[in-house]
Amino acid sequence: MGSTKEELLAKIKARQGGKIGFWENIKPRIKQGHVIPIISNSFRIEHIFKEKYATLDKDGLTPYEQLTRDWAGMVEYPMDDGHDLARVAQYYLVNIQKDRESESQARTQYLEFLKSLLLVTAEEQPKYANKAARLLDQIQEKSFSEIAAQLDYPRFPENVDDPLGLLAQLPLPIYLTTSQSDFLERALTEVGRAPKTQICFWSGEISTKPEHKTDPDFIPTKDTPLVYHLFGFEDYPQTLVLSEDDYINFLISVVENKNTQNPIIPSSLRLALGGSQLILLGYRLQDWDFRVLFRFIQKFERSDRGMVVQLKPSEKENLESLEKYLKDYFDIRKFDIDWNTADDIVQKLWSDWNVYEQSQSS
């Protein structure tokens, strides 16, 4: 005798790790402001360089990994895993580091590479060639996000919404990102919101801009949301988390921090992480940023919190093997997995939210 409809649904729900309940529950939590998107560094970079890099190359590398491999060639990385940003950054930092000043320059070299690559690409496009040439003279003064914006990156077809723009329109008070650039702040400003940028000064570097200092009295709202850069910000090179050593030192700094009056991670963010539903976007299992981020999140874990991790396996990866790995390494019972692209997840979230909002107002 075949399974009943209820049994089939139960099997599907079990297979999906409980995502049905998560997605049903997330819409009222958005309205309450109890959802935190956690956005990877690759999320926006892949949008910007999508014209240059194929979705997956012959080796199964993502656009972000292909980009890293090109940087590895620039810094003469000698090993065959040049698609691994943390390892390439580790090699480069060790080889160039002589003093604190040279270390800071090494940390910003990756961002300088991204800017140069973007400008060289734009120079080959007749519509943007003159502007790219002018920006090349200002490359040291302008950030990666500034250059991208002036060259109209990322460029989406007319009928395609910008996923970061959709996230920015959700009425959420807190956004967490591991990006070193202010793409998220620009998206929020574009939709009429006034974001406040805060940075994790895990390395001991001191904020030179008053607006970036942790304000214990600041209460994030949907109109003035907090954008927290967990793995550093390009204005403060020592805060950038790029190399393998950086990730280890970041975790040590956060775990060993005993300053209750002015902790590295603001108390408001710690409480929000413990009591909100989390959506991780744009990460890959094998990357350092995902593994360290996940360990960081576990510090503030509460049993009643939900979390979805968006993961998109490459054509060479086996879904069942990946799920087994997650069970063994992370304890899959504590979170759900959505096997889709980050763009698809954001579109689904936005569509469901719109339907929910209309049903509430009718």
For residue 295, give every residue at least 6 positions away whose Cβ sits within 8 Å of its Cβ, in sequence order, or none. Answer: 251
Reported as a pLDDT band with limits 50, 70 and 90, residue 202 is very high
CB 91 within 8 A of CB 75: yes
- What single letter denotes the amino acid at residue 185? E
Q: What percent of the chain has pLDDT over 90?
A: 50
Reported as a pLDDT band with limits 50, 70 and 90, residue 288 is very high
Least confident of 21-30, 40-49, 79-88, 303-312: 303-312
- Residue 341 has what pLDDT? 87
Q: Indicate the class that CATH gives domain 5-45+157-361.
A: alpha beta
Q: What percent of the chain has pLDDT over 70?
A: 83
At 228 the three-state DSSP class reads strand
- Residue 256 has what pLDDT? 79
Reported as a pLDDT band with limits 50, 70 and 90, residue 77 is very high
Q: Model-level pTM greater than 0.95? A: no
The edge-to-edge listing of strands for the beta sheet with 174-177 is 196-199, 226-229, 174-177, 35-39, 277-281, 307-310, 336-338
Reported as a pLDDT band with limits 50, 70 and 90, residue 171 is very high
Query: Cβ of 30: how many Cβ atoms within 10 Å?
Result: 19
User: Each residue of 329-352: pLDDT tens digit?
Assistant: 665 555 677 778 899 999 989 998
Ramachandran bin of 293, using left for φ above 0, alpha for ψ from -120 to 50, beta for the remaining angles? alpha
For the cut 50, the answer to whether the pLDDT of residue 297 exceeds it is yes
- Residue 19 has what pLDDT? 47
- Residue 18 has what pLDDT? 44
For the cut 60, the answer to whether the pLDDT of residue 305 exceeds it is no
For the cut 90, the answer to whether the pLDDT of residue 45 exceeds it is yes
For the cut 80, the answer to whether the pLDDT of residue 311 exceeds it is no
